[in-house]
Amino acid sequence: MHPNKSLLLKKMNELILAYADDVVPVDRNIIVNFFKERNIPCRKDYIDFLARFGGNYSYFFRSEGSGYDCTFQEISEIYLEEPPEEMPSNDYALISNHTFADFYFIEYSTGHICQPYSDNEGNWTYEYYSYKDIDSFLWCQLYYTYYKNFTTEIIHHLTDAELNKFFIDYHDYLLVGFPDCTAGNYFKDNRIYGHSSNTNIIREYILSDEFLRKLYK
């Protein structure tokens, strides 16, 4: 395992971004001033994210059916209009309008990215986060858009016993995971392993020599 999971995600994101040619930044001061005027929480990583990627609805945010509109124009327009009913308190800030699943918010105190859902009484709750942080969110969009450029994929069909053993053996190698399901991505021996919920399939991704060389450079 890479000595620091957080640094690994950041480094991988930067390497994968080399395949994206449609990233457009936004003037950071415009974003900061907009949020300050409306008393919206301004986490540094959140502002950094919008300033770097918020100028265009980049392909990796809308590929593979994901549909995350993280443009500053979209976010600011939502704030300027009447807030949706699931808009939380100022403990959260809007980070994306999702094509199929409405809004995603970032929690100010933790950096978790949450998707609200309605409980049996019609109240909006944020019990589970969808992504642990911005780097995990960005990695998922980038990796599953461009992985064919730098990996070779092998599909493994496991029995229930083999799958349970995988979760035990790879527990400490979790790279990006989700708290309310078994879906996740693991990094071990310079390979990435992906599991989707409710399947017995493990997808093994062998990283190219060039990608690994840059990763550990």
Q: Tell me the mean pLDDT in the region 83-108.
A: 80
pLDDT of amino acid 1:
42
For residue range 15-50, list pLDDT tens digits in order: 999 999 999 999 999 999 999 998 887 899 999 999
Residue 58 has pLDDT above 70, yes or no: yes
- Where residue 65 falls among pLDDT bands split at 50, 70, 90? low
Please provide the DSSP assignment of the chain as one string: --S-HHHHHHHHHHHHGGG--------HHHHHHHHHHTT----HHHHHHHHHHTTS--HHHHGGG--EE--HHHHHHHHHSPPPTT---TTEEEEEEETTTEEEEEETTT--EE--EE-TTS-EE--SEEESSHHHHHHHHHHHHHGGGTEEEEEEE--HHHHHHHHHHTGGGEEEE-TTSS-EEEEETTEEEEE-TT--EEEEEEE-HHHHHHHT-
Position with higher pLDDT, 43 vs 101 = 43
pLDDT of amino acid 197:
85
For residue range 113-161, list pLDDT tens digits in order: 988 777 777 677 776 788 999 999 999 999 999 999 999 999 999 999 9
| Average of per-residue pLDDT values in the chain | 90
